[in-house]
Each structure stands twice: as C-alpha cells, then as structure tokens.
C-alpha cells in the first residue's frame, strides 16, 4: 500500500493583498500566503501581466532575513515598468523602498484586500504553489539520483582498482618467489 500525505500542498483559504501604484497605471501587488511565501503581481490598468511566486519564510513582521532575492524580483519588475518610461532616474521608485512600503502596508493593515477561493488570482497562486512544491521535490529527487549515480560510479571504479591492485600484488608475489 502506498500512502501520501498532501497537507504540505494545501494553502490558506484566503490571502492578504496590497497594491502599490508605480507609474502610469502600472502597479505591483504583493500577496501574502501565510506559511508559504508571497506572490508578486505586475499589473497594468488592472490587467495582470506577470505573476511571480516567492517561497520564503520571510514574514511581514520579520523582514530581516532572506530578502535579497525578494528585492531582486521587485527590481526586475520595476525595470520592466520603467523600460519604456522617459523619466529621470531620481523620479523612479527604488526596489528597497517598494519592498519596505509593501511590507508596511501588510503589517499596518493599510489598504489590505482579502483574496478568497472565488478569485481567479487565488486559483492561479494555488496552482502555482502546488507546481512549485512539485518542482522542488523533482529537483531534490534528481539531485539525489545524480549523487547516487556518482557514488555508484566511484564505488565501481574503486572496486576495479582494488581488484587490479589485488591481481598485481599476486603477480608480484608469484614472480618474486
């Protein structure tokens, strides 16, 4: 009998979402999925352009660790927004500022929208996190299989070398006598 517990795939029944207007109808929304991570959504005039999932233990209350990758994704989104903009560099929002502002909005409850199972974005994020978990497991399995293959190959080589040395030693002893 094969038994599998899929509780690790389940996610909360509602998410907290905050949104920050960036430039000319383009915005970045941050969706917090408790005990799983976040989703960063690039929107243009309320239409979703891109959705990124960030699996992290970072919480809105504790942003002191594991935030560099998070900030890099925000920078990538900002670069995409500003790529067609003809504005001075100092007028552009900085990625760390956007990160801190979004986190503050979540912790302060300022403009937080609850997203439930009826929402399309909820379904997309849920499926995305399930796929992400499966991909993580596949990567771990592939790494484990390659490590096993490497160890097996090393053991075979070691066994062959041992046998060769054993035969060489017998031949030496035979010729020395």
Whole-number pLDDT of residue 1: 52
Residue 165, domain member (yes or no): no
Whole-number pLDDT of residue 120: 75
Residue 161, domain member (yes or no): no
130's enclosing H/E stretch is helix 120-176
Whole-number pLDDT of residue 158: 65
Instruction: State whether residue 32 is helix, strand or coil.
Output: strand
Q: Is 58:83 a contact under the CB 8 Å cutoff? A: no
Residue 76, domain member (yes or no): yes
Q: What tokens appear for 165 in the block?
A: 């040395």
Whole-number pLDDT of residue 89: 81
Residue 31, domain member (yes or no): yes
Distance, CA of 87 to CA of 146 (rounded, Å)? 50
Residue 39, domain member (yes or no): yes
Q: Domain total for the chain?
A: 1
Residue 36, domain member (yes or no): yes
Whole-number pLDDT of residue 160: 62
Whole-number pLDDT of residue 150: 80
Whole-number pLDDT of residue 22: 86
Could you tell me the residue range of the domain that residue 22 belongs to?
A: 12-120
Whole-number pLDDT of residue 163: 61
- For the chain, the distance separating the N- and C-terminal CA atoms, rounded to the nearest angstrom, is 62
**Ordered DSSP codes for 87-114:** --GGGSPPHHHHHHHHHHHHHHTTT-EE
The per-residue pLDDT string of the chain (177 residues; one tens digit each, 9 = 90 and over) reads 555 555 555 666 778 888 888 888 888 999 888 878 888 888 888 788 888 888 888 888 887 777 888 888 889 988 888 887 788 888 888 888 988 889 888 888 778 888 777 777 777 777 777 777 777 788 888 888 887 878 777 776 666 666 666 666 666 666 666
Whole-number pLDDT of residue 6: 57
Whole-number pLDDT of residue 58: 85
């Amino acid at each position: 009998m094969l038994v599998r517990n899929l509780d690790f795939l389940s996610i909360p029944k509602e998410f907290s979402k905050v949104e920050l207007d960036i430039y000319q109808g383009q915005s970045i929304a941050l969706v917090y999925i408790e005990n799983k991570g976040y989703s960063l959504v690039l929107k243009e005039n309320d239409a979703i352009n891109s959705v990124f999932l960030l699996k992290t233990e970072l919480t809105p209350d504790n942003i002191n660790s594991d935030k560099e990758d998070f900030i890099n994704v925000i920078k990538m989104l900002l670069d995409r927004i500003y790529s067609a903009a003809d504005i001075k560099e100092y007028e552009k929002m900085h990625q760390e500022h956007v990160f801190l502002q979004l986190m503050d909005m979540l912790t302060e409850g300022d403009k937080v929208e609850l997203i439930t199972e009826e929402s399309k974005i909820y379904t997309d994020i849920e499926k995305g996190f399930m796929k992400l978990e499966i991909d993580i497991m596949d990567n771990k399995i592939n790494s484990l299989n390659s490590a096993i293959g490497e160890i097996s190959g090393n053991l075979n080589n070691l066994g062959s070398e041992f046998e060769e040395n054993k035969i060489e030693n017998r031949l030496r002893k035979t010729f020395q006598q």
